[in-house]
Structure 1
Amino acid sequence: MTLYSPRTRRRRLGVATAAAGLLAALLAAGPVSATPDPGDKSSAPKSVSKSTEAEVEKAISAGDIPGQDEIVHSDNIQHVTNIPKDALPGTNSDLAFQGKYAFAGNYDGFRVFDISDPKAPKTVAQVLCPGSQNDVSVSGNLLFLSTDSSRSDDSCASTTQPATEKSSWEGMKVFDISDKKNPKYVSAVETACGSHTHTLVPEKKNVYVYVSSYSPSATFPDCKPPHDGISVIKVPRNAPQKAAVVNFPVLFPGDGEDGGGNPGAPTNPGVSKTTGCHDITVLPSKDLAAGACMGDGILFSIADPENPKVIDQVQDNVNFAFWHSATFNQKANKVVFTDELGGGGAATCNEAIGPDRGADGIYDITGKGDKRKLVFKSYFKIPRHQADTENCVAHNGSLIPVKGKDLMVQAWYQGGVSVWDFTDSAKPKEIGYFERGPLTTDKMTTGGSWSAYYYNGYIYSNDIAKGFDVLKVSDARTDPAKKIRLGELNVQTQPDYFG
């Protein structure tokens, strides 16, 4: 039986001893793996010590954390419905929206939902096309899908193949979604080091795609160091089969194999070496973009979309292990960067890790034009401790459009979904949440909300293990957002809500 509870947990989880070992490992090694988000398949559950298991069970019994799979939420959040995974059993990933449809990425392909009735979403199509991460975006009649695992070819029937093989393929796939019930695969573009994520810069005749990828190796024929830029693909709307890479702008110029990004360890212990970008968010109305690039955060101009130009570059070698994603506020005078400490597969939302690691970093944007600077103001992390069997860290989120306020909804893997306010850059605060108790109490099992986005009055969350969740927030602070209606939303291509 599903349990609903508005009560706020005390979150006194006593896991400091167990987590101390994890913290030491994270500080020494940086991200848990070379590819921070879960790999080609969901990570196999890893057993925890008997003492950790006992601590988790004790915390559940004491009411400090929810019970296994128990649903809890704040008074202002309603869990509307859940649609379990169906024909695509892989890891659920990112989300995109168009009209009455939601597009949900999955490591086995993507699923199309009719969300005209958010209380009862209906599956319109499920497309089998394996290849992590299957990050998904839509623009007009086109759907874009990232492949960041080495495949035998560019087809949807491909199999895994070592990246050391020259014939291996990874990159971007393009589908025609003019018929939502029958998406058609129309073209593919191979990109250096694949496509971990991608970001659309849409224009009338063309769609530019910024492809983020990283972790090169001298043994990879198509992904050799230095890999200190992004691939720019130009896709003609009327001839998507002609999609092609038109540039590879170097964002971190420098000499030698390492380029000019963060050198990582041993210079900066516990920080990722910058060998590309993880994710980019563009604000087309302002010709502006923010890049989360492993060991660096950057601000750059996209006035010429084929030739983006870096304006400012920042690092945080104390508390940020892996710059993962970025979100502008509506006025474009702030950026929220996320730190994916532990690569999305570790328990970092506990007392031992603390409030400043695996968190969001809020930066004000000062100055004008090419003299703009990113100025750090504060960190935000969910205030609810999680069990040491729950992967939890800052992940994908979006603005909740309320004029004059900076409100955001964000996924935290098994930390659930958080609604928070960063109107005061120096004093961010959580104003609502939804979460499930741990998937397991005797193993570290990867799960939880990958992406949580606000779209046309509801919050939609793609849970890695549990499926597609619909939430509704009812709060005087967020209610004005219900008036905002969009025809399309790719969160990494931020709209001008009030322009």
Structure 2
Amino acid sequence: MRRIFGVLVVALLAAGCSPRGGDTPPPEATPQAAASSAAPRLAVDAIDHSDNVRVVANVPLEAPFDGDEAWGTDLAFQGDYAFVGNYAGFTIVDISDPEKPSVVSRTVCEGGQNDISVTGDLLFLSVDFPRDNESCVSKEGEEGAAGSWEGVRIFDVSDKKRPKYVTSIRTECGSHTHAVLPGEQTVYVYVASSGPVPDSATCPPPHSAMDVIEVPVDAPETARVAARPPVFGERPVEEGSEYENPRGCHDVTVYPERKLAAGACFGDGVLMDISNPLLPRVLQVVQDPNFAVWHSATFNNDGTKLVFSDELGGGVSATCDKSTGVQEGANAIYDLTSENTLERRGYFKIPRVQTADENCVAHNGSLIPVKGKDIMVQGWYQGGVSVWDFTDSANAREIGYFERGPLRPGLSLGGSWSAYYYNGFIYSSDITKGLDILEINDPLTDPAKSVKMTELNVQSQRSY
């Protein structure tokens, strides 16, 4: 998370971690959020969870992923396997028995943050730190230098015990995250990257385009940037806005069946038509006076709602404390009309106050597949894992949770990076603790246990 943890965080902290703008009055705080100060304080490394959540197992970070900054990141799933990203590479875990998970392989390939997806025999890693070359034995490069490399790496994981490096594709401003658009013959990868970097050879201003990588399934070594549509250049800009110039997107989520995509961009939420996968067309740009860093986007299953999250403080700040607003560092819930127009209905933030030493903010999550309901599980860094119901867009509420107490002295970054639901269990990638496996047993979520997925990349949504 080079640019998030670097330039962007500095700017946010200098502005008091809360850039504002706009004339739209925010909705009133919900009673649940207003009452959150009643949450108990946990001891260091203690574990707490709601009665309907069970701790199933943990796969700890071990060598070679036991360095100070070998942080766990995003997750993807396929069959009986979980693929766990890490700043130092990725791990493949056998989850055929979630009670007894086992590590199949660990692949060292430093790149930060190694946001991960898998489809078929191909695995993709996003690299948003400059490297001195594209290989897995590269070293950290110079920011913006002509010879540096950053972008997307591709692996063949047909043999889970021995993943094979295939190729790398340089993208403008690197790849902070990505979303795959699966296909039998061609896979498209939508690259989300932040920028620009002044006086840069690799990420020059302005940064208004999105790289689209085309990957032939039978010849992935020939993958290339096939399009760079300028989808973020035309946007409303308010006087004094932190994001006067386009800075790309932090995250892009695609929903191919509905021919829609949503971009959580710096200063904006962007709804796109992807009927032509190489030429996304902007349908609407929304802004929010309470949002600082538009982080991620999630459609509900029916494609009638869209949840945007705000990573206030860039993931390194304590924004779940008493002093931060209940609509800041939270989720905003939008209804998506039949005319593909977004209308904001409400907010959700975890109702458990964290200490001033715990980095906590809305982060990566996924839907829990329950017909007729809109339920999501989500990681909140040291705020833990939250299961929440937004069926009533204006009155979202938490129905279950899991969290740990503050980190041991000497550690400053931790907690759940991503929390996703897959085939009856919740998988949480904890930055310093490894892969947590949880189970929720609740009348609202129990119908999801009958839904069996063969593949899950959360940024590539499918209906169920």
TM-score when scaled to structure 2?
0.90
State yes or no: 1:387 paired with 2:355.
yes
In the superposition, relative to structure 1, how do residues 262 and 447 fare at CA in structure 2: closer, same or farther (>3 Å)?
Answer: farther
In the superposition, relative to structure 1, how do residues 383 and 423 fare at CA in structure 2: closer, same or farther (>3 Å)?
Answer: same
Partner of 1:496: 463
Whole-angstrom distance in 2 between the partners of 1:432 and 1:127: 34
Equivalent of 1:88 in 51, 55, 65? 65
Whole-angstrom distance in 2 between the partners of 1:185 and 1:391: 34
Whole-angstrom distance in 1 between the partners of 2:274 and 2:15: 40
In the superposition, relative to structure 1, how do residues 132 and 261 fare at CA in structure 2: closer, same or farther (>3 Å)?
Answer: farther
Shift of 1:123: 0.4
Equivalent of 2:310 in 330, 333, 339? 339
Amino acid in structure 2 at the alignment position of 1:356: Q
Whole-angstrom distance in 1 between the partners of 2:453 and 2:173: 34
State yes or no: 1:72 paired with 2:52.
no
Shift of 1:63: 8.2
Q: Name structure 2 gaps, 5 residues minimum.
A: 1-11, 22-37
Amino acid in structure 1 at the alignment position of 2:217: R
Equivalent of 1:449 in 416, 425, 446? 416
Whole-angstrom distance in 1 between the partners of 2:14 and 2:394: 26
Whole-angstrom distance in 1 between the partners of 2:446 and 2:323: 36
Whole-angstrom distance in 2 between the partners of 1:444 and 1:297: 33
Q: Secondary structure at the match of 1:342?
A: helix
Partner of 1:9: none
Deviations 1:124-165 (A, max 9, x none): 010000001100000100000111000000000000011232
In the superposition, relative to structure 1, how do residues 262 and 276 fare at CA in structure 2: closer, same or farther (>3 Å)?
Answer: farther
Partner of 2:150: 170
Alignment of 1:68-217 (within 5 A): 68-86=44-62, 87-89=64-66, 90-217=70-197
Q: Name structure 1 gaps, 5 residues minimum.
A: 1-20, 31-61, 255-259
Shift of 1:367: 3.1
Whole-angstrom distance in 2 between the partners of 1:234 and 1:427: 41
Amino acid in structure 1 at the alignment position of 2:452: R
Whole-angstrom distance in 1 between the partners of 2:19 and 2:327: 17
Shift of 1:268: 2.8
Size of the aligned set, in residue pairs, is 434
Whole-angstrom distance in 1 between the partners of 2:14 and 2:303: 34
Shift of 1:273: 5.8
Deviations 1:282-306 (A, max 9, x none): 1111111111011100111111111
What's the Cα RMSD here?
A: 2.0
Deviations 1:24-82 (A, max 9, x none): 7213699xxxxxxxxxxxxxxxxxxxxxxxxxxxxxxx982111110000000001111
Partner of 2:453: 486
Whole-angstrom distance in 1 between the partners of 2:436 and 2:170: 33
Partner of 1:56: none
Quick check: 1:272–1:321 contact (8 Å CA) kept in 2? Answer: no
In the superposition, relative to structure 1, how do residues 273 and 391 fare at CA in structure 2: closer, same or farther (>3 Å)?
Answer: farther
Whole-angstrom distance in 2 between the partners of 1:403 and 1:237: 33
Quick check: 2:318–2:358 contact (8 Å CA) kept in 1? Answer: yes
Whole-angstrom distance in 2 between the partners of 1:210 and 1:381: 29
Shift of 1:274: 3.9
Shift of 1:252: 2.1
TM-score when scaled to structure 1?
0.84
Shift of 1:313: 0.7
Q: Stretches of 4+ moved more than 6 A in 1?
A: 21-24
Quick check: 2:39–2:352 contact (8 Å CA) kept in 1? Answer: no
Whole-angstrom distance in 1 between the partners of 2:236 and 2:170: 24
Quick check: 1:23–1:352 contact (8 Å CA) kept in 2? Answer: no
